[in-house]
Amino acid sequence: MNVVIFGATGMVGQGVLRECLLDPTVTRVLTVGRSATGASNPRLKEIVHSDFFNLDPIAGELTGLDACFFCLGITSVGMSEADYTRITFDLTMAVARTLVRTSPGMTFVFTSGAGADSSEKGALMWARVKGKAENGVLGLPFRASYVFRPGAIQPLHGIKSRTGWYHALYVMLSPAMSLARRLAPRHILTTEQIGRAMIRVAQRGASKRVLEAPDIYASAVQP
């Protein structure tokens, strides 16, 4: 399976990249980002590209792909709805529309979040915009497309959030999250589990197109 990862330097993306490089069924991994990940592997190729709204200069690299793991995302804290929509919806759709042209036979997996509002009419701005992005991706003519809605995520294997206050919060809550994960493993996911689940869903599909935390967990642990 040949895959491309957008957002491989973020917390979720780091976990997905790690699992892709560990999985022998993933034969080629391409990352596209504004900065390199720093990872080194003979199956890995990295493209540093600054303008995700225009992928035409690298479109030739985006052919023959079996899956896209789209892990880009930002916090809505302090952002206007217009600015958050530009990054969360407009940018996502710009990338997805390019990929549906260059690799229409791929499976596209979009990382959303627990509580996203697919009606696009709720009171929470971030949830409406995430729901709009979900609907946009699911409406494109890929071979298959799925939405992942993780909630609480525990980073493993030295993975860190690039958002300073997120990282500090994860460090502070790590012992509590470890305990909570033992008590409710289907609801507290790890970066490792999310990465494994994305690979499994891209390879085998899923019974639903929008996967909440328990669905992601089930996909991650299936043999």
Per-residue model confidence (pLDDT) at position 16: 98
Instruction: State the distance between the two ends of the chain, measured CA to CA, in whole angstroms.
Output: 18
Per-residue model confidence (pLDDT) at position 171: 62
Task: Select from 3.40.50.720, 3.30.565.10, 3.30.70.20, 3.90.79.10 the CATH code of 2-151+191-221.
Answer: 3.40.50.720
Q: Are 87 and 74 in contact (CB under 8 A)?
A: yes
Whether pLDDT at 110 is above 90: yes
- Chain-centroid distance of CA 190 in Å reads 13
Per-residue confidence at 223, pLDDT binned at 50, 70, 90? confident
What's the predicted TM-score (pTM) here? 0.92
Quickly list DSSP for 26-38. Answer: --EEEEEESS---
Domain positions in the chain are: 2-151+191-221
pLDDT tens, residue by residue, 145-178: 999 999 989 889 888 766 555 556 656 667 776 7
Per-residue model confidence (pLDDT) at position 164: 58
Among 8-17, 120-129, 171-180, the least confident range: 171-180
- Token look-up 């509590």 returns 176
Q: What is the DSSP letter of 88?
A: I
- Position 160: which residue type? K
Burial readout 193-214 (b: 16 or more C-beta within 10 A, e: otherwise): bbbbbbbbbbeeebeeebbbbe
Q: What is the DSSP letter of 3?
A: E
Per-residue confidence at 199, pLDDT binned at 50, 70, 90? very high
Higher pLDDT, 77 or 96: 96
